[in-house]
Amino acid sequence: MKKMLKGLGAALCVALPFIAQAPADAATASATGAADQTLVQRGAYLAQLGDCAACHTAPKGKPFAGGLPMNTPMGRIYVTNITPDARTGIGGYTQADFARALREGIAKDGHNLYPAMPYPSYAKVDDDDVKALYAFFMHGVAPVQQANRESDIKWPLNMRWPLMFWNMAFLEKGAYRDKPGKDVAWNRGAYLVQGLGHCGSCHTPRGVAFQESALDESGSAFLSGALLDGWFASNLTGEHNTGLGRWSDEDLRTFLKTGANRHASAFGAMTSVINNSTQAMSDQDVAAVSTYLKSLPPVGGTGAAAYTYDPQATKVSLDRPANDAGARVYTAYCMHCHGVDGHGFAPMLAPLAGNPNVLAKDASSLINVTLNGTGDLVIDGVPSPFPMPGFAAVLDDQQIADVLSFVRAGWNNGAPAVGAAEVAKLRQSTQAGR
């Protein structure tokens, strides 16, 4: 009995310090948990800024499980699983592995990622944001066991080792550094646009090696508009006709939050950017992005005189549509939404008069959206009531060419005509890509 009591006493002597300390340890654990959760939440926000869901989630697929097909000049690739599943995702990645993939385009096993992954932009993401993103993908995303699919790119173009040389030539390493002489809002906007937002991936022209012609405002082609996967991503510089020159700061902030304003509406890939990314941005970040973009000098465009609205000639054609093939199609299929005056019913229904996408030299987006329509804008969970329908099954190539030529000439738009061969080519390529 004495031995039992002595043993119990010894056990209590060992246990008491831990018992006495338990409340402090619990408080520390609670604080640590709260800090970790705050980091995960911050990472979730940053993942929205980076629009990660749009590319890494297939239609009707599980979040971030990959499988989405992407068309490239070399062939189709399939986006990878970035859930924390240890076998098929990134569950085995350390933070250093994650940072290397994000900013250098190199996977944990050492193979190079295709630059369809915008790591030349993500290279500018700072260490604190990388840490938060890693916390989110490891602890805020449900693991999904879904094997990655090999690309459809044929040998020898599917070899990855030449990407090492591509990176040596075109990857600029190093996180974004504030520009002296610029205020906090401008630098924050530049960081988001050039980095996580990776706006240049779509809106900057590509060179012969499929590299972005410029990665920041120091390059004259930066954000001047580019053709990508059947869409022409708009000019985001201060160019008067085809860019943001006529947009106020409020116009731009409204577009980023809702996908539409008095000048234009989102289409194509920009619809998913609005749905998954920019509408979730804080007001402060939206204002910063607007501040930066509105500071960019005019670049690109068509060299035409500054746009001014003039409805007269178009009104005459619409009064007598029998004399104009494009006017006939417009009155039958377009006028009830976009109006006789071309103003539409913005922001619900896009204007055509003076719309930067209508004035652009490249008509690919107009052809594509007329053929195939566009996805729903979903703002705060509510789908847009009037999405653009597709007319591929209703109108032939010549009819679409006629109506788009009419629109591009109408209301003093003064943009080049569209040919039936252009429509046929895009019809074929977009149908093949489905």
Binding-site residue ranges: 52, 55-56, 199, 202-203, 334, 337-338
Nearest CA among 196, 216, 382, 187 for reference residue 284: 187
Measured CA to CA, the distance from residue 292 to residue 63 in angstroms comes to 31
Q: What is the dihedral of CA 52, 58, 59, 60, to 10 degrees?
A: -110
The C-alpha torsion from 104 through 105 and 111 to 117, rounded to 10°, is 180
Q: How far apart are CA 118 and CA 116, in angstroms?
A: 6
Tell me the Ramachandran region of residue 349: left when phi exceeds 0, alpha when psi lies from -120 to 50, beta otherwise: beta
Q: For residue 120, give both structure tokens.
A: 């030349």
The tokens for 255 are 């577009």
Nearest one of 29, 116, 30, 22 to 75, comparing CA atoms:
116
- Other beta carbons less than 10 A from residue 351's beta carbon: 23
Q: Which tokens sit at 51? A: 């629009």
Q: Is 395 left (phi over 0), alpha (psi -120 to 50) or beta?
A: beta
Question: Which residues contact residue 218 at a Cβ distance below 8 angstroms, ignoring those fewer than 6 apart?
Answer: none
Beta bridge partners of 260: 265
- 155 vs 100: CA distance, rounded Å: 26
Residues in the chain: 434
195, 188 contact by CB (below 8 A): no
User: H helices within 236-350, ranges in order?
Assistant: 249-258, 269-276, 283-294, 312-319, 325-333, 335-338
List CB contacts of 40: < 8 A, sequence separation 6 or more.
132, 135, 136, 139, 140
Q: Which residues are annotated as a binding site for heme c?
A: 52, 55-56, 199, 202-203, 334, 337-338
> Cα 89 to the chain's mean position, in Å?
22
The number of C-alpha atoms within 13 Å of 398 and in the hemisphere containing its C-beta is 3
Measured CA distances, 114 to 8, 320, 340 (Å): 65, 53, 47
